[in-house]
Amino acid sequence: MSDLLGRGYCGGHVTLIFTIEDENPDPIKQGSLGAGICLNEGVEVIVRGRDGNGNLEVFFNDYIGESSMYEDIMNMINGIIPEVSEYDWEATVKLDLPTGQGFGMSAAGSISFCNAIQRALGIPYEEGRRRSLMISHVIDRKRSSGLGDVTAIAAGGIEIRRMAGSPFNGHLLEMGPGESEGWESETEVILAWDSKGSKHTSSYIDDASWKESISKAGEKNLESLLEGSWDKSRWSDLLHYSTCFSEESGLSKDGIRADVIRKCEKVVNDCGIECNGVPLLCMLGGSVAIVPVNIDRGLQGIDNIKSALENEGLTAISTTISHP
């Protein structure tokens, strides 16, 4: 029998404001309310299947991820699609961005891998997409590597999560309980981070004191955002409440994150009003997204900003927002 081949690609996600909703024992119903930005940069996975017994080898290009995550996904897929275990699989993973920096790489990697496996097996696109999102949400929750990234990615663009939980559920892959929506923008943003430091999401969302301060600040600052329509007219609201959230939750003062935001604020101030940018913390990494104050005008002088950030010892790239 000839080898099976499949490819999956999924962009990452930056959370700007969120709550922690993990009281329900069912991971399908866990997640977060929140808002953020879906990215075009993400994770590509190419898989090759040969006759075998369901074994998996994972190879990484560029940034290194966690092979154990892909093994957990494979075990879950095996329980849903028994045909998977008739093959031995090789997965080549290319991450555009580092893990542990708040760019949703766990969610993007999970979705890409699930999509690649199902495409190799010839599973119809929409069925495979829904199953990938459901499996990836459950994996994120079981590993405490994310809360609402998958539900956010399901919406795309500049997103808001109105109900916590997986975007799809059950063997029929029906909607919910997670609900999200997004709107489109062609604007560029800059991502900046300190490559010497990162922190696993679980160190925050599984810590009782952080959970309390994050959810309290999140609920307060999401109240107005969750009211009414979600479109371009809400951009300035998102910037305002995200900044308030990062300060009131205490996250902007925590560890390496405080140093990164200070350096980004300095660069934006030094560049002056012409750059038209504002730095926002990416949750929950040691990273910042510099976004335009005026989304129609966009960021100005992007190359100069990136050079100034690199002079401050940060890694910086420009990227665009994914489509809904």
pLDDT over threshold 90, residue 1: no
Claim to verify: residue 196 and residue 179 sit in the same structural domain:
no
The residues, any chain, with a CB within 8 Å of residue 122's CB and separated by 6 or more, are none
Question: For the domain that residue 12 is a member of, what is the CATH number?
Answer: 3.30.230.10
pLDDT at 64: 87
Claim to verify: residue 281 and residue 298 sit in the same structural domain:
yes
Claim to verify: residue 262 and residue 294 sit in the same structural domain:
yes
Specify the range with the lowest mean pLDDT, choosing from 12-16, 232-236, 251-255.
251-255
Claim to verify: residue 130 and residue 199 sit in the same structural domain:
no
Q: Which of 167, 183, 199 is the last residue of a domain?
A: 183
Claim to verify: residue 134 and residue 172 sit in the same structural domain:
yes
Q: Which of 117, 152, 183 is the last residue of a domain?
A: 183
Claim to verify: residue 83 and residue 165 sit in the same structural domain:
yes
Distance CA 122, CA 141 (A): 28
Distance CA 32, CA 100 (A): 18
Claim to verify: residue 104 and residue 15 sit in the same structural domain:
yes
On average, the pLDDT of the chain sits at: 94
Claim to verify: residue 63 and residue 203 sit in the same structural domain:
no
Claim to verify: residue 48 and residue 179 sit in the same structural domain:
yes
Claim to verify: residue 59 and residue 167 sit in the same structural domain:
yes
CB atoms within 10 A of CB 215: 19
Predicted confidence band of residue 206 (pLDDT cuts 50, 70, 90):
confident
Could you read off the pLDDT of 263-302 as tens digits, one per residue?
A: 999 999 998 766 789 999 999 888 999 999 999 999 989 9
Distance CA 323, CA 162 (A): 19
Structural domain count of the chain: 2
Could you read off the pLDDT of 67-114 as tens digits, one per residue?
A: 999 999 999 999 999 999 999 999 999 999 999 999 999 999 999 999
Claim to verify: residue 38 and residue 126 sit in the same structural domain:
yes
Question: For the domain that residue 261 is a member of, what is the CATH number?
Answer: 3.30.70
Residues spanned by the domain of 236: 188-320
Q: Which of 164, 183, 202 is the last residue of a domain?
A: 183
The residues, any chain, with a CB within 8 Å of residue 75's CB and separated by 6 or more, are none
pLDDT at 164: 98
pLDDT over threshold 80, residue 318: yes
The residues, any chain, with a CB within 8 Å of residue 272's CB and separated by 6 or more, are none
